[in-house]
């Protein structure tokens, strides 16, 4: 008859996580000290310490002595799939990064849009397509759909200084994501990439949610021979 027993330190962890995920404590916020949290939840500091250590291990907060713990900026991609920060990727490789917006349309979600965003009902959406260039050579085509129901402020965003992906990371506090990687053949819709028809390309689709609400769906196309997704890891995090 008793409710399922959830350990205190997990409940505290969940409570803090909720404040971060909801945006109540945006990135950069200094969260209360261990002693304060211990008083809030009426428990020992060690218990709070466990909760915070846990959150730090999962990368939601960063801990520093004396200055306290702060909410970390979300790293939307896992380390394994982090080629999506195109600007950083390109600049790390020593090229200059540039991108252009090819199309930008606001419309009521079509049947296909609902499918892409996994929307139950049609809502207004912003449809974008962009071309990413490294040293002025096209290397990635982006096809994006943003739900204006979830991110109404996208309607007025110009995306001049920031690509839609980077902008969204700053606007939507945190999210879950689903990736899909496949291989496709270059066709006329990818003319901007200046590829011979039939060139194999890597297609990466990502669907993002914030609190169960669809936020965005993006499809990135790379020429398969020029770029590759590299992931390196060990089973343990190393001591």
Partner DNA sequence: CTGTTCATTATGTCTATACATAACAACAAG
Partner DNA sequence: CTTGTTGTTATGTATAGACATAATGAACAG
Residues at the site binding DNA, with contacts judged by CB under 7 A: 5, 7-10, 33-35, 42-47, 49-50, 52-53, 56, 63-69
Backbone angles phi, psi at 76, to 5 degrees: -55, -35
Q: Which does 196 bind (CB under 5 to 8 A by kind): DNA, its own copies, none?
A: none
Q: Which is nearer to its own copies, 80 or 93 (CB)?
A: 80
- Strand stretches in 109-199, DSSP E: 124-134, 137-147, 176-185
CA distance 147 to 215: 5
Q: How far is residue 146 from each of residues 98, 172, 191, 200, measured CA to CA in Å?
A: 21, 11, 23, 27
78 binds, among DNA, its own copies, none (CB under 5 to 8 A by kind): its own copies
The minimum distance between CB 105 and its own copies, in angstroms, equals: 27
Q: How far is the CB of 180 from its own copies (least distance, A)?
A: 5
CA dist., res. 144 & res. 151, Å (int): 14
Q: Give the one entry of DNA, its own copies, none that residue 185 binds, where binding means its C-beta sits below a cut-off of 5 to 8 angstroms depending on kind.
A: its own copies
What is the distance between the alpha carbons of residues 19 and 150, in angstroms, rounded to a whole number? 19
196 part of the interface to its own copies, by CB under 8 A: no
Q: Which residues bind its own copies (CB under 8 A)?
A: 6, 10, 13-14, 17, 21, 57-60, 74-76, 78, 80-81, 174-185, 198-203, 222-225, 227-237, 239
């Amino acid at each position: 008859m008793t409710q399922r027993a959830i350990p205190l330190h997990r409940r505290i962890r969940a409570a803090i996580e909720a404040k971060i995920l909801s945006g109540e404590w945006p990135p950069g916020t200094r969260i209360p000290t261990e002693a304060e949290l211990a008083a809030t939840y009426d428990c020992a500091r060690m218990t709070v310490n466990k909760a915070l250590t846990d959150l730090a291990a999962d990368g939601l907060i960063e801990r520093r002595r004396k200055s306290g713990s702060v909410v970390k900026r979300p790293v939307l991609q896992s380390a394994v799939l982090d080629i999506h920060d195109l600007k950083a990727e390109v600049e790390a490789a020593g090229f200059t990064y540039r991108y252009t917006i090819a199309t930008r349309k606001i419309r009521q979600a079509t049947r296909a849009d609902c499918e892409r965003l996994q929307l139950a009902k049609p809502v207004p959406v912003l449809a974008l397509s962009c071309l990413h260039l490294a040293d002025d050579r096209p290397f990635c085509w982006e096809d994006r759909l943003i739900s204006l129901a979830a991110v109404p402020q996208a309607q007025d965003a110009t995306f001049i200084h920031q690509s839609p992906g980077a902008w969204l990371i700053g606007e939507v506090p945190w999210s879950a994501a689903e990736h899909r990687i496949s291989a496709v053949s270059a066709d006329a819709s990818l003319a901007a990439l200046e590829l011979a028809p039939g060139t194999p390309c890597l297609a990466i689709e990502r669907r993002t949610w914030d609190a169960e609400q669809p936020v965005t769906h993006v499809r990135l196309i790379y020429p398969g021979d020029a770029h590759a997704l590299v992931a390196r890891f060990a089973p343990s995090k190393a001591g």
